[in-house]
Structure 1
Amino acid sequence: MLISYPLTLLQTPQFSPTNLFSYTLTLQTLSAIVTLITAYYLYRYITISSPRRRFAASKGCHPPPSFPARDPFFGLDFFFESIKAIRAHRALENFTQKYWRSGKNTAKMNVFGKTIVTTIEPENIKQVLSLGFREWGIGGQRKKVMEPFLGEGIFTSDGAEWQHSRDMLRPAFVRTQVGDCEMFERHAEHLLQAIPRNGEIVDLQPLFSKLTLDIATEFLFGKSTDSLAPEGADSETQVFVACVDRAMVTLGAQEEGWAFWVAVMFGLFIQNWKLRHVYKTIHDYVDGIIEKERLELEEEKKQDSIGQDEKKPYIFLHSLLSQTPNKLKIRSELLNILLAGRETTAALLSNLFFVLSSRPDIWTALQQEVSTLNGALPSYTQLKEMKYLRAVLNESLRLHPVVPENARIAQVDTVLPTGGGEDGKAPIFVRKGELAHWSVYAMHRRRDFYGEDAEEFKPERWIDSEERKGLRCGWEYLPFHGGPRICIGQQFALTEASYITVRLVQEFVGIESRDSEPWREELSLICTSHGGCKVMLKPRI
């Protein structure tokens, strides 16, 4: 071709030596490109694709089905459908319907050319989070989004760094720390004082958000933000609280919805630029607390003979200071736990009381159980013994999981145990770099696990009974994640939510909904009610 085609130019009127040279050079370039591309794909087949095929065949893998899509290559129809659902606050419901309509519990999608395996099969999730834990990671995108705010801590790291964080933090969440009901009571009093008693409507959602921030900062820093206290916080703390609120909202937008996909495609320059001052304000505030506590601890060591018999409240920061002198590491871990401790518990309380406001039967049952305290403040042991209260919390976390979706990225070529083939029972091969996504929200609504009434809020399903015998509580129920990265603060969160619920039930004889719409999701880092939690509480006379 390189010879015959240029020779035909000799017969054309436009022929010249310059044209011949140009045509020949162009064809040589194209030929070289085609040769390189062919060589590349041949190399990939020999070194990567062929071994992958053999590996997948040795494990008996078959590809999973795909969700129906008009654009199976780039998933643009899924992208725009998701944007529409997010704006309508129906994204979780919309995605759940994809499982129900397809009849598949595991499927694959292509989004912007990236392969995603999505599943609501407990065995697949167990493989990712537990059995194959070292084969999966949180991925660089999550780290890029969160690290400018949180630093390198337990939620932003993988591997050895994550293990180091876990080992540092685990001792802080033993029974003696998470059961400090005296601390909960101080802030519960502020909450009760903030609720009107004259029949006015109150939105509990922002109050719960302030409450959990006040509790989390006292537990972590030894100094509460006191945003609910009647006297209010000092001006510096008010600025800190405002910055934390803004960072949480913007960080959540990066993790969910359209902003997440924009971040994936175009990077995070705009988001970081906007929040640079906000993050610095937060970091400076926490650094000041760290330095103050460090100096106080050093002073106490110098006067070790004074006040040794005095019982002091536990402060999370002191535990970190005793383990490392690295102030950046300490700040990062404090902010990581603050993020989880504040947002998740506030969402749990808000979602729960949204339901309670329209279910007087559940409120009455809670009153009967709480009445056994005879008006006394509950202790940690008494809270643990309240079976119906725990069932109510379990059911809220089932229907409205505060972290409704999650994902991991394959660090190596690996296998998921089920979901492939025509019957959906064969293993699935997952390439390195591909994403495994799961919907806790959808899995918690599977009728084969929770019965035909899976969409109903029914605490009784968690109480020992004949009906309870058919309820499974393994990897089908994941309100706090699972495996090595299971939430280390779950007992603290449950104790806090239990205590606040009991105190509200003790203080008020009734609760009525003042929301004109049903519950709709508000997705950020966590999931809560889009419309808030507007209620009217009836005080005891």
Structure 2
Amino acid sequence: MHILVRLPPSYLARRQFARAHGCQPVAKSANKDPFFGLDTIPATIRALRENRIIARTPEFYRRFGNTHKVIGIVSKQITTIEPENIKTVLSLNFKDYRLGFRLPSFKPLLGEGIFDTDGDQWASSRALIRPSFTRDQVADLTILEDLIQDLFALLPRDGKTVDLQKLFFQYTIDSATEFLFGQSVGTLKKSQSESDRGFAEAFYNAQEAILTRGIPFPLKLFFSHDEAKAEKYNQICRKFVQQFVDKAFQAVELKKPETEKSDSDIKRPRHIFSHELAARTTDRTRVLDELMNVLLAGRDTTASLLSNLFFVLAKDPAIWAKLRREVAFLEGRPPTYSELNNMKYVQCCMNECKIAPSCLELLSAEYFKFASSCILNLGRPVLTLPALRLHPVVPRNNREAIRNTVLPLGGGQDGLSPVFVPKGTFVSYNVYAMHRRTDIYGPDAEVFRPERWEDGKLQPRWGYLPFNGGPRICIGQRYALTEVGYVLVRMSQEFRVLESRDPGPWEESRGLTVTSKNGTKVGLTAD
């Protein structure tokens, strides 16, 4: 008796598609359990407790190859550190992937904006925001100088230990709100209002809720989450920002009569992000959502970069001395925009430890999602974020295939054949591990060495993603680099000695962004 097994049309179509593109299966998997991937849970939990969930990832690629499979309870994933694969996902086959799966986690706080939407809605958000990040809009350094003076006022100058990480988080929310709303919440100043203080606290708590909201049910049992309390924080934040949306539309209405005047008669006002958005759309909810999106990126990621950068700089007095020599020509005055961009060693330091803090393609809960997905191999990190080379604020990014597609590398025993990516599969690219590839960055890839960028010979292209790539490349990178570079230059001018007060190595924390678990404890001595 012959038993006829009829394969579903979708299976046959996939097999035909894979054959037509010369695809070979991915040879290795990180799991021994071929169904649910439960075998990796104990080791992952230990790594989480020991704060080394990120640090262990390069070993996975050494063991299982630059492209391998990860099997989870609710999803299957292909993870890679091949630049050509990343280029394909982010650029060449951009329309084959989506990231809107992040929307349920972020919508309660952010609404629908540039970070959590896809397709035409995302493109519209990008078009709305892009004009606010032109060179002319970010070249005015007056705001940054005012804020750096607020920061200096809180820093000891006699070598006493201070945690820069905490202060950088205050600095960046002040900077972000000044840029976006035209009015800082003033967390660096004791004179901040009760409303400003309440917003800052609610904003932090609302972000914490994002971390747990999107975790699938089995993992939710390990984490506490009070959605009612989270909603209270969301409403505080959105109500606070709404007042600036209303002011922005009022300002736009007042400007209308001026359109009849000649350009020479009109005094150019200071650029305010919210006003620019209000001038381009009449949809107040839209402006509110986009402001919430940009605010979250502009605050947390900048602070994380500065904290991690100064952590490693404090460990090497020679690098600090070299920075000070480069800025000596300024003779203590603040740099101009052009001077800032022409400081080669400053740029090298940022290249070695770079992120786009105000990048409009990212949010910082990616790290927590990364840790969560490791526990159950769910493979569903939330957002896309540019990364530090050594200490990425977001170490891994994901895309979900919305149709059958192909990666150019990773198939077969040698990993050189194309790989079939079925619809619904998550493709993860691990920036942390890729930035430590010795075949790209040399045998000292684990070392913070800005000099590797000095002669221009290092050209990693898609092997280095400080600002992502493709159509969703960060449009805030100019602003990001300006802000970080300005703080770096002014700190090196102000303080002769930057000394680490943390004898241990950098350890990862688990929060909205990846920062030092022990803060950035340093001693500063002024000239």
Q: Same fold (TM over 0.5)?
A: yes
Query: Residue in 1 aligned with 2:368?
Result: none
- The answer to whether the 8 Å contact 2:181/2:274 transfers is yes
Query: Residue in 2 aligned with 1:346?
Result: 303
Q: Give % identity.
A: 43
CA–CA distance in 2 between the matches of 1:254 and 1:121?
A: 31
CA–CA distance in 1 between the matches of 2:419 and 2:405?
A: 9
Query: Residue in 1 aligned with 2:138?
Result: 178
| Aligned with 1:428 (options 409, 412, 419) | 419
CA deviation vs aligned residue, 1:145-166 (integer Å, no higher than 9, x gap): 1111111000000000000001
| Aligned with 2:19 (options 47, 57, 61) | 57
Query: Residue in 2 aligned with 1:488?
Result: 475
Query: Residue in 1 aligned with 2:342?
Result: 385
Query: Residue in 2 aligned with 1:222?
Result: 182
Q: Which amino acid aligns with 1:537?
A: L
1:195 aligns with 2:155: yes
In structure 1, the residue corresponding to 2:58 is in which secondary structure? helix
CA–CA distance in 1 between the matches of 2:82 and 2:447?
A: 21
- The answer to whether the 8 Å contact 2:100/2:116 transfers is no
Q: Offset at 1:400?
A: 1.6
CA deviation vs aligned residue, 1:496-532 (integer Å, no higher than 9, x gap): 0000011111111001111132101124343221111
| Aligned with 1:326 (options 276, 280, 283) | 283
CA deviation vs aligned residue, 1:88-139 (integer Å, no higher than 9, x gap): 211111222111223x100001111521000000111111100000110004
In structure 2, the residue corresponding to 1:422 is in which secondary structure? coil
Query: Residue in 2 aligned with 1:419?
Result: 410
In structure 2, the residue corresponding to 1:461 is in which secondary structure? helix
| Aligned with 2:98 (options 126, 131, 137) | 137
Distance change (3 Å), C-alpha of 1:401 and 1:415: same
Q: Which stretch shifts more, 64-73 or 236-245?
A: 64-73
CA–CA distance in 2 between the matches of 1:360 and 1:476?
A: 29
Query: Residue in 2 aligned with 1:96?
Result: 58
| Aligned with 2:442 (options 432, 436, 451) | 451
Q: Which amino acid aligns with 2:32?
A: R
Q: Offset at 1:299?
A: 3.0
Distance change (3 Å), C-alpha of 1:172 and 1:279: same
CA–CA distance in 1 between the matches of 2:91 and 2:219?
A: 27
| Aligned with 1:126 (options 80, 87, 90) | 87
CA–CA distance in 2 between the matches of 1:134 and 1:240?
A: 38
- The answer to whether the 8 Å contact 1:75/1:113 transfers is no
In structure 2, the residue corresponding to 1:528 is in which secondary structure? coil
| Aligned with 1:478 (options 465, 477, 484) | 465
- The answer to whether the 8 Å contact 1:66/1:109 transfers is no
1:290 aligns with 2:245: yes
CA–CA distance in 2 between the matches of 1:437 and 1:278?
A: 31
Q: Which amino acid aligns with 1:235?
A: E
CA deviation vs aligned residue, 1:400-448 (integer Å, no higher than 9, x gap): 2222210000010111110010110111111111100111000000000
CA–CA distance in 2 between the matches of 1:80 and 1:158?
A: 36
Q: Offset at 1:251?
A: 2.1
In structure 2, the residue corresponding to 1:537 is in which secondary structure? strand
In structure 2, the residue corresponding to 1:475 is in which secondary structure? helix
Query: Residue in 2 aligned with 1:314?
Result: 271
CA–CA distance in 2 between the matches of 1:233 and 1:373?
A: 33
Query: Residue in 2 aligned with 1:250?
Result: 209
Q: Figure out how many residues of one structure are paired with residues of the other and give that number.
A: 489
| Aligned with 2:391 (options 383, 395, 400) | 400
Q: Offset at 1:286?
A: 0.8
Which has the higher Rg, Structure 1 or Structure 2? 1
Q: Which amino acid aligns with 2:389?
A: R
1:154 aligns with 2:145: no
CA–CA distance in 2 between the matches of 1:296 and 1:69?
A: 58
Query: Residue in 1 aligned with 2:31?
Result: 69
Name structure 2 gaps, 5 residues minimum.
Answer: 354-387
Distance change (3 Å), C-alpha of 1:263 and 1:269: farther
Query: Residue in 2 aligned with 1:240?
Result: 199
- The answer to whether the 8 Å contact 1:139/1:408 transfers is no
- Length-normalised TM-score, structure 1: 0.86
Could you say what the CA RMSD is over the residues aligned between the two structures, in angstroms? 2.2
Q: Offset at 1:292?
A: 2.2
Query: Residue in 2 aligned with 1:163?
Result: 123
Name structure 1 gaps, 5 residues minimum.
Answer: 1-37
Q: Which amino acid aligns with 1:291?
A: D
- Length-normalised TM-score, structure 2: 0.89
CA–CA distance in 2 between the matches of 1:390 and 1:421?
A: 40
CA deviation vs aligned residue, 1:447-476 (integer Å, no higher than 9, x gap): 000111111111011011xxx52x223100
